[in-house]
């Protein structure tokens, strides 16, 4: 598969070394049955002016070469979109689920680029996994984003709730509560499975008064107006804080419901990036308990200036986490699943 496919409305850059792995989450990347059209050249197709046709015996190539180029734009004053790299498809791609190694980029000629890129580090579902969070934050710091956003579920499953909350508080992270955070406070009717409920009972005993106060002060959802547009963040979805939005169930109605061109979700532990007419819908995956078959910690870099979301994976010391889980008395199944990324 070529490294880049370009569409009139969406630029998709793959960074995956194994294209076959995209089949489940992103079948569109593997090609269409009707195949791509021939490359589109820059500029419009030349047309012949009426009354200036060359003799019929002139070769077609000669006629096209001698004819003046005429601009023909039926879109009126609509903002122009650039077709990059000379590849076009029969149907413009309006929306697409993506693999963790996919970057979505839209290019609008009518929008002036920002003087300084506005990039946000986006995390979700940290779940009290201190080694994973520390590894992710080292990667975050290497890219110097403008802000740190966390889409809920800061605690649960793993044995460092107080340490994780302290780090996020010290970094002034823009965080919201997830169902596990509300559950540990007794504020959520969400029906947890046996493993999650056992971890919540353990976590509730471990939390310090400062940690409890921090969780109580967090909002369940948030939105901030940036120069590039509104950024809205939910743990579940704009419709329901406990709704699971998967790559194959996400649709434009969620972005319209949020009323923001940039929408951040968590909860599923599955990375996702989908582009719709109304905006960009993203999920960075999970820092503390990935469930997409990749045990590495996941996070995303959202560039508001270029409307790009890049998904990143960071290895961390899983052995240390598994040992701590067994030592503290948490269910051993929570340690085993970290190795498989499920």
Q: Tokens 């710091």 belong to which residue?
A: 141
CA distances in angstroms from 167 to 13, 140, 175, 215, listed in the order given? 33, 14, 12, 13
pLDDT digit string, tens, across residues 318-332: 999 999 999 999 999
How many CB atoms are located within 10 Å of the residue 314 CB? 18
Q: What is the mean pLDDT of residues 7-17?
A: 34
- pLDDT classification of 90: cutoffs 50, 70, 90: very low
**Which run of H or of E encompasses 258?**
helix 252-258
Q: How far apart are CA 245 and CA 254, in angstroms?
A: 9
- Per-residue pLDDT, averaged over 67-81, amounts to 42
139 in a structural domain: yes
| Residue percentage of the chain with pLDDT more than 70 | 65
Contact 83, 106 (CB under 8 A): no
Residue 7 counted as domain residue? no
State the DSSP string of 147-193.
EEEE-S--SSSSS-HHHHHHHHHHTT-EEB--HHHHHHTT-------
Is there a domain that residue 15 lies in? no
Q: Please, which pLDDT band fits residue 95 given cuts at 50, 70 and 90?
A: very low
Nearest to 164 by CA among 137, 198, 128: 128
Distance CA 212, CA 181 (A): 10
Question: Which among 19-33, 56-70, 77-91 has the top mean pLDDT?
Answer: 56-70
| Rounded Cα distance, 154 and 325, in Å | 17
Contact in structure between 180 and 286 (CB atoms under 8 Å): no
Nearest to 288 by CA among 242, 338, 235: 338
Residue 262 β-bridge partners: 231, 280
Q: Structure tokens of 308?
A: 């790009």
- Whole-structure pTM value: 0.68
Assess contact for 133 and 105: CB atoms under 8 A: no
Residue 203 falls inside a structural domain: yes
Name the β-bridge partners of 308. Answer: 303
CA 111/CA 80 separation, integer angstroms? 10
Burial category of 282 from C-beta neighbours within 10 Å (exposed 0-12, middle 13-18, buried 19 and up): buried
Q: For position 155, which CATH number holds?
A: 3.60.21.10
Integer Cα distance of 238 and 254 in angstroms: 6
Phi, psi of 329, rounded to the nearest 5 degrees: 95, 5
What is the chain's alpha carbon radius of gyration, rounded to the nearest angstrom?
A: 24
Instruction: Give a yes or no: residue 23 inside a domain.
Output: no
Percent of the chain at pLDDT > 90 equals 61
Domain hosting residue 243, numbered range: 111-340
pLDDT tens, residue by residue, 166-218: 999 999 999 999 999 999 998 766 689 999 999 999 999 999 999 999 999 99
Q: In the chain, how many domains are there?
A: 1
Q: Is residue 42 part of a domain?
A: no
In a domain, 44, yes or no: no
Is position 100 within any domain? no
The pLDDT of residue 301 is above 80: yes
146: its two tokens = 């403008």
DSSP tag of 21: G
More confident site: 284 or 37: 284
What does the pLDDT look like over 13-56, one tens digit per residue?
Answer: 333 334 333 333 333 333 333 344 344 344 443 444 455 444 45
H/E run at residue 202: helix 194-206
């Amino acid at each position: 598969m070529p490294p880049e496919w370009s569409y009139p409305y969406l630029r998709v850059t793959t960074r995956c070394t194994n294209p076959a792995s995209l089949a489940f989450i992103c079948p569109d990347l593997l090609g269409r049955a009707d195949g791509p059209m021939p490359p589109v050249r820059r500029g419009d197709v030349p047309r012949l002016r009426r009354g200036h046709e060359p003799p019929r015996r002139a070769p077609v190539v000669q006629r096209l070469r001698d004819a003046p180029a005429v601009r023909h734009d039926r879109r009126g004053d609509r903002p122009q979109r650039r077709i990059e790299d000379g590849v076009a498809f029969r149907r413009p791609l309006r929306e697409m689920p993506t693999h963790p190694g996919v970057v979505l980029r839209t290019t609008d000629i009518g929008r002036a680029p920002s003087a300084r890129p506005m990039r946000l580090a986006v995390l979700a579902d940290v779940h009290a996994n201190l080694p994973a969070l520390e590894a992710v934050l080292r990667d975050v710091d290497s890219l110097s984003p403008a802000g740190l956003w966390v889409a809920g579920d800061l605690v649960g499953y793993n044995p460092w709730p107080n340490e994780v909350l302290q780090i996020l508080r010290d970094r002034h992270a823009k965080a919201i509560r997830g169902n596990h955070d509300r559950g540990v406070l007794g504020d959520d009717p969400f029906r947890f499975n046996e493993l999650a409920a056992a971890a919540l009972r353990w976590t509730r005993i471990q939390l310090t008064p400062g940690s409890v106060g921090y969780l109580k002060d967090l909002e369940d959802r948030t939105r901030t107006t940036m120069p590039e547009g509104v950024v809205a963040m939910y743990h579940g979805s704009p419709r329901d804080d406990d709704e699971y939005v998967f790559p194959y169930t996400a649709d434009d109605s969620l972005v319209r419901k949020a009323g923001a061109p940039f929408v951040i979700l968590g909860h599923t532990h599955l990375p996702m990036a989908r582009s719709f007419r109304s905006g960009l819908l993203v999920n960075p995956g999970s820092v503390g308990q990935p469930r997409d078959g990749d045990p590495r910690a996941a996070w995303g870099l959202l560039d508001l200036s270029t409307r790009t979301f890049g998904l990143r994976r960071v290895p961390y010391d899983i052995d240390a986490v598994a040992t701590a889980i067994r030592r503290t008395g948490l269910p051993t199944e929570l340690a085993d699943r970290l190795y498989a990324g499920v």
